Structure 1
């Protein structure tokens, strides 16, 4: 049976777009802060060497231009922030307070909310927390639907075992719990699974 979690990997379009946006935001902030301080990329490179973790001028240029396929090392974040004399959070979420960022793939919040969560000053924003709950429930619902579909095929082929029937009943019970949860929230799920579909009102 297919694992629906495989549909959302680090190689997916949404995941790549999120990584690229984050790296681009960081690189832009590094470049803007460096220019505001009147530093050349070579001078900033010298500062990183003085801190014990040299980052070359060409690497700085690639970071600022987001020419590394969305990849920024943790060490680079820490050292570049120290070399520029700013908190790392200022480079990671620079557009505060009114800016907006994609905090997680397909989940946008204000820059200040993202920064407060990242720094430990606040928990996940309520809207984002609710979104994550809905997405996780939708994934689980699809997994259960796939399991039941596979067991139904086995039943048609006459290969269903007693323990498989127990799995089917458990999956149906869990789907029913998800339906009740959706009814109580009165909110649509993501990934094309709505409250109506979870209550059996879809065309499939």
Structure 2
């Protein structure tokens, strides 16, 4: 985290609505930002200018002037890294320039649509690659088997339909339409399977 000299804000609370005093570890916390009243700690153990500079052992608030609250900065530890829009959207993009990245790529990273790899564990990568390759072979086989099964079923159905039409004495152009439709569907099945294999 940041090495802030005054501390980390851990809660979203501001002040206690009953006591009207700042919440501990909240956005107005006296321990982080300083006392709300001159020469007075939060718990009231130290209440005079003679205790100037003492940090109360009970509440952790430094006995000093209240105006220090205007200068002191706390920090907030976020669950995920963020950037200010000015550093990213400004022209030229300060972050893009610093990281040597195109603004488009940077935008993807900032909005978690893409990731940037900063270090590679080669040993782990080698182990993972063999596992991934084995999985890919299994998936490819499954897609091919399903394709062959679907094509066989569709071919069988086409043969049955054509045989029925011939038995009924259907015209040749009707039979051709049915054959063309069946062949088109089989072509689509092949193409779909090929698209899955190419992915």
TM-score of the pair, normalised by structure 2: 0.27
Higher relative contact order (CA 8 A, sep 6+): 1
Larger Rg: 2
Which one has a larger percent strand, Structure 1 or Structure 2? 1
Which one has a larger percent helix, Structure 1 or Structure 2? 1
